[in-house]
Structure 1
Amino acid sequence: MQLPSALLTSLQDIKGYNQAAFEAIHTSAEQVTSIRINPLKIVNSQRPIVDGKPIHWCPYGYYLPERPFFTFDPIFHAGAYYVQEASSMFLWQILAKAIGTNTNGLKVLDLCAAPGGKSTLLASYFKDGLVVSNDVIKSRANILVENITKWGYDNVVVTNNDPSHFKMLENYFDVIVIDAPCSGSGLFRRDNDAINEWSENNVTLCSQRQQRIVADVLPALKQGGLLIYSTCSYSKQEDEDIVDWLIEEQQLSTVNCQPSSNEGIVETQSDKHQGFGYRFYPHLIKGEGFFAAAFTKNKGSLFGNYKEQTLAKPSKQEEQMVADFIGEQLDYSFFKQAEAIKLLPTKWWLDLQILAKCLYIKKAGIEIGTIKGKDVIPHHELAVSILNLPQINTTELSEEEALQYLRRKDLTVATTKGWCAPTYCGLRLGWMKVLPNRINNYYPQEWRILKE
């Protein structure tokens, strides 16, 4: 692997950089695989999810001794864990230092969210809050919906908007996370193509774009709110220089997240305003290149004047049919989008109407399904959600049967007729309809396993 000489030269005076060690790790064959488990699904799993070493900066993160074929693990498809790069899990420690454990009622925006690693982490951390997970690119937003669906939480709204659209939500969010598009030098070990795409000119263009993205969305952060900025770039122009720009031009205050000295994370300070940043070098930690910094907003207000969009509600009869199917779901509000019936925690009902007025929403809460005649046709979201569904018929599958189900192949299992949620190791995988002479497999066609 031939690293760009201009990059190596630009890093010479940056804290933590050692050219010999940096080049050696990039030419080694070492691979690091890490996952983050889903705390609300691990309790229901009848199989240990991890056999690996913990990641110090995230309580649910683990290094795996080798990379398995995740596609052939049914509990991966059930949302029991997310395959996430270890360095980016540092987001958890920033939140722990800057927010603490009292997350009730907080509203969080993950602005550049696809494919969903940080959003699923935020959903777990802010389990009593509301997470808005956004991506501006439609195709990436579709991937985001899939991963948020599998994670199964009811406190996430997925949107597909440009950062500038969030100006309409002035002083709305308590926390905004911006994992900004960057030149990608921190991904060289995972993606050789990133080396060919890297240039000094691209670094400059990325830095300008990063400033534009932050400036567009910053009005949506409350006074005293937390901004977390990160990149997968080593370039100072995209990292510490952005820290100085945020402090000087946007009047933010730096936040010291104080990583433990033995973790290998390098704490840096920007040249002009000594703003704190945190660098991850693969020769010092088990992970890829990453940079993160946190700030509080000094100007602005705690409140905004928001308009609401009236959302359609199911009829009393439809609500009763749903309740008969899934059982009473206390503290939830039902709403309709086209023919689909969905639910969201009641505490976020007003906020959903505010968001719907300003943004294009691709997913909100949990989709229960549709009603046809006297039947509820359940949606896949319901099966893989964290909702307690004691009235739903389930049947436990073997590993071979679970993989057949995930390939959307025919199954022959003995179970009660009607709608059934097949499970593997106690975790729901989706839906099947048991008929007198066959079983219809309702696993989503576009998500099925194609490999044999």
Structure 2
Amino acid sequence: MQLPNAFVDMMKPHLGPAWPEFEASYDRPPSRGVRIDRWSVRADDPSRPPILHAVLRHLRGQVPWMPFGFYMDEESVLGKTIYHEAGAFYIQEPSAMAVALAVDPQPGERILDLCAAPGGKSTAIARLMNNLGHLVANEIHPTRVKILAENLERMGAAAAVTNESPGALAKAWPASFHAILVDAPCSGEGMFRKDPQAAKEWSKDSPIVCATRQKDILSSAVEMLLPGGRLIYSTCTFNPMENEQIVAWMEDELGLVVEELPNLPRWSPGRPDFADGRIALTKTRRLWPHLAEGEGHFVARLRKPGAATSVSDSSLDSGRRARAGRERRGEGRSVGLRGTGFKDWQNWLAEICKRPDPSIETPILHKDIYFSDELLGLSVDGIRVLRPGTPLAKREGNRIEPLHGLALRSSPNRFFNVKPLDEQAAIRYMAGDALANDDGLRGFVALEHAGLCLGFAKAVPGRVNNLYPKGWRKQGLISLST
């Protein structure tokens, strides 16, 4: 491909003797990857069902820095299968998989992904902490935030979704998060091979414009960090202005301290010579496409000074105590879910779930939709909240009906009524077809295939009526077993 002349003039001196090899990497196809989410990739891991062999044979080797990441061929059909639709895996550029590892999310933490769409890094964070924390995924663009919400639901990620500017969130949520990821809007130089249009739109002013925007976002982000909290900064670009020089600026202007990142095989240390010889920049990491199989990426982790705030000492704990008090009084958290309404929810959940997730036992109710409460302890006054958590069920008069989000948040063994499907039946289900009721089932049924909960149906005599969301239905999904 033809690289922009101004980009060549900027980067060639930085790379020196490595430039010919770097330039030659653009003659190779871009890297594609898939991150396994619902299945286990290890034979000795009983916590998840084993990865399906029909999927495994479409993968061509493990991503060195991601234990459950794999490479796949450019022409792979995995994205057109029921397994993709059921959230078994997320198709993600391999270098981007390292960012969630840099976040190092811990169960019980409150974490903010500030620039989250389309959701690859948010869903990986949720997976790494087994949905045992409070994750907020924010996206400022109204169209992209809807894509973010759908991906989070598809992957069964426990997360709230907000649609706000970083500045507005900083005013509402000062000193509120244990970790914040800023996967910053950038000039996208690392994506030239994947998206040639990005190369055509790039100009020599792009890094300057982006660096200014990045500083504004980061200034808001640091206000939302708890003392001792960590800020993870990443870009998919090469120039020093948006990478090492931004990290140096965060040390000097925001008072943050660069931390060593976990081992990321095949990644290279950041370049002190790109920012006045600052040695701490060797703790940051770069992926160069001529040195590793992946597109260009940069990642750094910085710590806010102060005594680290444990989960039990944070506002999460006060939120839990307040919720426990409401539970003792038989109340839910939101308007309309109190007293009898809360007992109705508990009774309904006990009828369909054997072992409900703790976070769905005390939901909030908004416009007749029950959501898990992932904003526990955070004020939402003046904040555009697309979803406070996973949509679990809807209330229609005196009835409660399950929603698709509840199925995707759960494994099949959590439900009483489960109907196994083969792959062909699962394809018909996702297309919207009704199914035969050969088992004499009644009521709401969770449908299962290969250890995955595909969604719900309503069993009546002679048939199983399809409850797969109409906006999600797909025609022409590809079978991997034929």
Bin for the TM-score computed over the shorter chain: 0.7 to 0.9
1:280-306 CA distance string (max 9 Å, x none):
111111111111111111269958999
SS at match of 1:434: strand
1:447 matched to 2:461: no
How far off is 1:438 after superposition? 4.3
Tell me the secondary structure at the aligned position of residue 362 of structure 1: strand
Q: How far 1:427 sits from its partner (Å)?
A: 0.9
- 2:448 corresponds, among 404, 409, 423, to 423
- Could you tell me which residue of structure 1 aligns to residue 480 of structure 2? none
1:147 maps to which of 125, 132, 151: 151
> Residue 139 of structure 2 is aligned with which of 120, 124, 135?
135
Which of 346, 371, 390 aligns to 1:319? It is: 346
Query: How far apart are residue 374 of structure 1 and its match?
Result: 5.5
How far apart are the structure 2 equivalents of 1:356 and 1:326?
Answer: 30
- Following the alignment from structure 1 to structure 2, what is the Cα–Cα distance between the partners of residues 76 and 305? 36
* Cα distance change, pair 193–249 in 1 and its aligned pair in 2 (3 A): same
Residue 40 of structure 1 and its aligned partner are, at CA, apart by 6.7
Alpha-carbon separation, structure 1, partners of 2:307 and 2:202 = 37
TM-score (ref. length: structure 1): 0.88
Structure 1 window deviating more from structure 2 (39-48 vs 317-326): it is 39-48
Moved more, 244-253 or 298-307: 298-307
Q: Normalising by structure 2, what TM-score?
A: 0.83
Superimposed CA distance per residue, residues 422-450 of structure 1 (whole angstroms, 9 cap, x where no aligned partner)? 22212111122233354432212222224
Moved more, 328-337 or 54-63: 328-337
**In the alignment, residue 19 of structure 2 is paired with which amino acid?**
Q
Q: Which residue of 2 aligns with 1:106?
A: 109
Distance 1:413 1:235 in 2: 60
Give the corresponding residue for 1:37.
Answer: 36
Cα deviation for residue 253 of structure 1 reads 1.0
Q: 1:36-435 maps to which residues of 2 (within 5 A)? A: 36-38=35-37, 43-44=48-49, 47-48=52-53, 49-50=55-56, 51-64=59-72, 67-96=75-104, 103-127=106-130, 128-154=132-158, 156-167=159-170, 168-257=172-261, 259=263, 263-269=266-272, 270-272=274-276, 273-276=278-281, 277-298=284-305, 311-312=334-335, 313=337, 314-327=341-354, 329=356, 331=358, 332-344=361-373, 352-357=376-381, 359-372=383-396, 375-386=399-410, 390-412=414-436, 414-415=438-439, 416-435=441-460
Letter in 1 for 2:69: G
Amino acid at match of 1:338: K
Contact 1:52 1:64 survives alignment (8 Å): yes
Work out the CA distance in 1 between the residues paired with 2:40 and 2:398: 32
Q: Which structure 2 segments of 5+ residues have no match?
A: 42-47, 323-332, 478-482
Q: 2:329 — aligned with what?
A: none
Distance verdict in 2 for CA 1:153–1:301, change over 3 Å: closer
Aligned to 2:3: 3
Greater Cα offset, 8-17 or 277-286:
8-17
Matched residues in 2 for 1:433 and 1:41: separation? Answer: 30
Deviation at 1:417, TM superposition (A): 3.4
Take 1:16 and 1:406, find their aligned partners in 2: how far apart are those partners? 53
Contact 2:86 2:453 in 1 (8 A): yes
Quote the offset at 1:266 in angstroms: 4.2
Give yes or no for contact 2:444–2:456 (8 Å, CA) kept in 1.
yes
- Relative distance call for 1:109 and 1:330 in structure 2 (3 A) is closer
Conserved? CA contact 1:39–1:60, under 8 Å: no
Greater mean alpha carbon deviation, residues 105-114 or residues 69-78? 69-78
Code of the aligned partner of 1:201: D
Residues 57 and 92 of structure 1 are in contact (CA less than 8 Å); yes or no, is this contact kept in structure 2? no
Matches of 1:189 and 1:406, distance apart in 2: 34
Residue deviations 1:209-266 (CA, integer Å, cap 9, x gap): 1111111222001222111111111121111111121111111111122646x62434
Q: Does 2:12 align with 1:12?
A: yes
CA displacement, residues 179-201 of structure 1 (integer Å, 9 cap, x when unaligned): 00111111111111111110112
- Please state whether the residue corresponding to 2:351 is helix, strand or coil: helix
Displacement of 1:166: 2.0
Q: Residue 432 of structure 1 contacts residue 442 of structure 1 at CA under 8 Å; is this kept in 2?
A: yes
Cα distance in 2, alignment partners of residues 144 and 12 from structure 1: 36
Q: CA deviation at 1:385?
A: 1.1
1:1-42 deviation digits (Å, cap 9, x = unpaired): 1101111121124358822222222123x2422111115777
Q: Which piece of structure 1 moves more, 164-173 or 311-320? A: 311-320
- Computed over aligned residues only, the root mean square deviation of the Cα atoms, in angstroms, reads 2.9
Task: Look up the SS of the partner of 1:352 in the other structure.
Answer: coil
Secondary structure (helix, strand or coil) at the match of 1:11 reads helix
- Cα 1:437–1:104 change in 2 (3 A) is closer
Query: Equivalents in 2 of 1:403, 1:417: separation in Å?
Result: 22
Residue 33 of structure 1 aligns to which amino acid in structure 2?
A: R
Identity of aligned residues (%): 29
* Rounded Cα–Cα distance in structure 2 between residues aligned with 1:224 and 1:118: 22
Tell me if structure 1 keeps the 8 A contact 2:411–2:451. no
Structure 1, residues 149-207: CA drift from partner, whole Å, max 9, x if none? 122133x2221111012222111111110000111111111111111110112221111
Render the CA deviation track for 1:97-135: whole Å, top value 9, x for unaligned.
xx7xxx233211100001111101111223332211111
- Contact 2:111/2:136 (8 A) holds in 1: yes
Aligned length: 439
Task: Judge conservation of contact 1:41–1:386 (CA < 8 Å) in 2.
Answer: no
Bigger shift: residues 47-56 or 104-113: 47-56
Instruction: Determine if contact 1:72/1:403 at 8 Å carries over to the other structure.
Output: no
Q: CA, structure 1 residues 247+320, in 2 after alignment: closer, same or farther (shift >3 Å)?
A: same
Look up the equivalent residue of 1:319 and give its one-letter code.
Answer: Q
